[in-house]
Amino acid sequence: MRLLVRNGTLVTEQGLIAADLLCADGRIRALVDRGEPQPADEHVDATGQLVFPGFIDPHVHSRDPGSTHKETFAHSTLGALCGGTTTVLEMPNAIPAVTDVATFESRRREHAGRAWVDFGLWGMALGPANLHEVVRLHRAGAVAVKFFWGYALDKETKGLVYDFAAAPPDSLLLPPENGEVLEMFREVASYGGVLAAHCEDRHILARSAELLGHPIETYDDLLLARPAVAEATSIAVGAQFARVTGCRFHVVHMASAAGARVVREARAAGAPVTAETCPQYLTLTDRDAERLGPAIKVYPPVRSQADQDALWAAVNDGTISSVGSDHAPHLVEEKMLGFGSAPAGGLGVETLAPLMVDAMARGRISATRLAEVLSTSTAKLYGLWPRKGTIRPGADADLTLVDPSGSCHISNDRMHALNPVTTWDGWNLRGRVTASVLGGAPAMKDSEPVGERRGRFVAADHDGRRT
Ligand code: DOR
Ligand code: ZN
């Protein structure tokens, strides 16, 4: 099948190009002069629109299997599609967690028939408990391994424990000590993989919660119990380990100015450190806690306006190379348990692109930088480039179309999640994600799917790729 995308402005790695785009058999075939006649079975009219390489959400927790009362892979990938994302990278902390190749292979099979968009899979790094399995996950095509540094895991299920001070100690698997973490960096370095971490130092968290002197009741209590220095400290330790081992270290969901400063300094010193942030940290501040209540609770927490400003600066100066949603749904009842007891996390996969497009329309980020942080740099980091993340002949024909002068409204009624309650309910946004193309055929238009469900598994190939 041949598809021609006409009259759009392509956002390429060489900049904006006014050209038509010819796709055939699932791949991009050629950039052609606008209006030049081309034999095609189907046309997409992109007049007045920016045509981006398909957006990639590298940070999705679909809860599937294990917690499918919270969310399912079918729901999260449908949300991704309708929001303008064409590939998701699924986090490993479902139950069972992806800590070995057998689980990786079964997850890949289970998800294959349910995916509305293409998907890659993360593996989980536990430390000594699966030290020699991580290379096998890498060879099986895992995009990276995730280390939940700062989270305790349930010993049996490897599920995250959100409040480990309250859990019986013998049910927990605590993050390993630094000597073992260093060993894990060495191991991942040995095969050229990516070690990504949730960075919050657990000793700082534990002591900060004790010093609070009473259970967490308000959002200010939560911020005191999880200070930014906990994030910055873990990042600094990881950056040292990255530097001495050569291991590629990626900081996920970075939430603080202090964290961004450490990443910037480490990169300047030549350490192989990269970072991600999320729309919640770029659009919300602690001042939204009163309005939103515990719905705003995520780990690490949303902080001050100064933190938000520093994260935007980091997105624009290259300190942060990738923006992901950290889609991590819970039941509404669970989120109403209060700032102390509610589990951390919320919806995000469907609003990732609209919120970032809004930022572009407001001048906070350029179209070319948006293409990098939502597609190109993400694809490079996770071993998917140049198959994904670029508009060039030979790449998968995955595209996200954006009308920069349009607008959109976010509302719970229109969310495709299993539990459709979003932090951004009621927001009016500038710019509009209008349509997407997946594997060379139209896949979404006006926030609804077009055609069959046909997401495919994509294996990472890290050979020879460096960020
Ligand atoms: O808020 C969060 N929720 N942060 C994480 O790091 C994990 C996530 C989850 O899986 O619930
Ligand atoms: Zn996460």
Residue 61 in contact with ligand 1 by CB distance below 6 A: yes
CA of 144 from ligand 2 middle (Å) equals 14
Distance CA 46, CA 25 (A): 20
pLDDT of residue 148: 97
What atom in ligand 1 is closest to the CA of residue 344?
A: 1
Residue range 161-202, pLDDT digits in tens = 988 777 888 899 999 999 999 999 999 999 999 999 999 999
pTM here is: 0.98
Q: Per this entry, what is the length of the chain?
A: 467
Residue 93 in contact with ligand 1 by CB distance below 6 A: yes
Residue 63 in contact with ligand 1 by CB distance below 6 A: no
Residue range 29-70, pLDDT digits in tens = 999 999 899 999 999 999 999 999 999 999 999 999 999 999
CA of 393 from ligand 2 middle (Å) equals 33
**Residue partners of 257: CB distance under 8 A and separation at least 6:** 228, 303, 306, 307, 309, 310, 311
What is the CATH number assigned to the segment(s) 54-389+412-426? 3.20.20.140
Distance CA 188, CA 126 (A): 12
3-state SS, residue 67: coil
What atom in ligand 1 is closest to the CA of residue 61?
A: 10
What atom in ligand 1 is closest to the CA of residue 151?
A: 6
pLDDT of residue 86: 99
Residue 326 pLDDT grade (very low, low, confident, very high; cuts 50, 70, 90) = very high
Give the ligand whose atoms come closest to the C-alpha of residue 62: 1
Asked if the model's pLDDT at residue 467 lies above 50, the reply is: no
CA quadruple 208, 212, 217, 220: dihedral sign = negative
Residue 6 in contact with ligand 1 by CB distance below 6 A: no
Question: String of b and e for 298-318 (b: at least 16 CB within 10 Å)?
Answer: bbbbbbeeebbebbbebbeee
Which phi and psi (to 5°) does residue 158 adopt?
65, 15
Element (H, E) at 119: strand 118-121
CA of 299 from ligand 1 middle (Å) equals 6
Residue range 206-245, pLDDT digits in tens = 999 999 999 999 999 999 999 999 999 999 999 999 999 9
Would you kindly state where each structural domain of the chain is located, as residue ranges?
A: 54-389+412-426
Give the ligand whose atoms come closest to the C-alpha of residue 280: 1
HSE value, Cβ hemisphere, 13 Å, CA-based, for 79: 34
pLDDT of residue 464: 54
Q: Which residue's CA is the closest to the ligand 1 atom numbered 4?
A: 299
- Helix, strand, coil percentages (3-state) for the chain, rounded to 5, are 35, 25, 40
Distances (CA, A) of 122 to 88, 91, 220, 422: 10, 5, 33, 25
